[in-house]
Amino acid sequence: MRTLFQVLIFSAITAATAVGFTACNNDNDTDPEWFAVDDRGYTTFDCTILNSVLNTAPYQALDATERDNLLFMREEEKLARDVYLKLNETWNRQVFDNISQSEATHMCAVLNLLNRYNVPDPVGDNGVGVFTNQDLQNLYTTLLAQGSNSLLEALAVGAAIEEIDILDLQTALGETDNQDITYVFENLMAASRNHLRAFVQNYEQQGVTYVPQYLTQAEYDAIINDDMEKGPKGKPWQ
């Protein structure tokens, strides 16, 4: 995706604990709650419930672009999880610990879609920091090195990953008409907006104002000035 390539060129740069999480349904969604958010914005999915919701969606053929985007997003969510796991080992901060656990559930949300379409999983048995996609492998190395320099840079890496994820999901949403993919990607994007807000809050607690790295200032302001998003977006097949 072009956002990833921009990062590579310009960079100088399972489930989560349920205690303390609350969830509420979007007014357009009456399914059991699977989208949980706490007051700090940590956003976790219950993939078993989500899968049951996806099973009610109409089945639509998967084209090559949609297939590639699913494979990419599965590993991009893994990249977020893996970077946060390693940064937590270095800095021992709750924001990295909690969001890494959240990202594991985002990975399984994409895996639900891969399984639904019988697409082989690119993650397989790959461990932390190991990727099938070589661009993501390189990005992981770059971001981890940057985040190892200081806590402030580590928090900036977290925010950057969420910005990148938002942009890549926007691109992927523009390249699909499959309603189940749209549903999952819209909710992944809401989770990324929540996590961006969480990282920015932690960053600015260090006494420095965060400046968006990949989003435009207008896009960033619209996200950061909005409330945490709780509850799944309405199903497009309703």
- C-alpha–C-alpha distance, residues 160 and 212, integer Å: 8
Burial of 72 (0-12, 13-18, 19+ CB in 10 A): buried
Its pTM stands at: 0.88
Could you read off the pLDDT tens digit of each residue along the chain, which spans 238 residues?
545 544 443 443 333 333 333 333 343 444 568 999 999 999 999 999 999 999 999 999 999 999 999 999 999 999 999 999 999 999 999 999 999 999 999 999 999 999 999 999 999 999 999 999 999 999 999 999 999 999 999 999 999 999 999 999 999 999 999 999 999 999 999 999 999 999 999 999 999 999 999 999 999 999 999 999 998 988 999 7
Residue with tokens 């084209």: 63
CATH superfamily placement of domain 2-18+61-224: Ferritin, core subunit, four-helix bundle (1.20.1260.10)
Strand partners, 43: 37
Paired tokens of 92: 């021992």
CB neighbours of 1 closer than 8 A, spacing ≥ 6?
69, 72, 168, 171, 172
Beta carbons within 10 angstroms of residue 6's beta carbon: 13
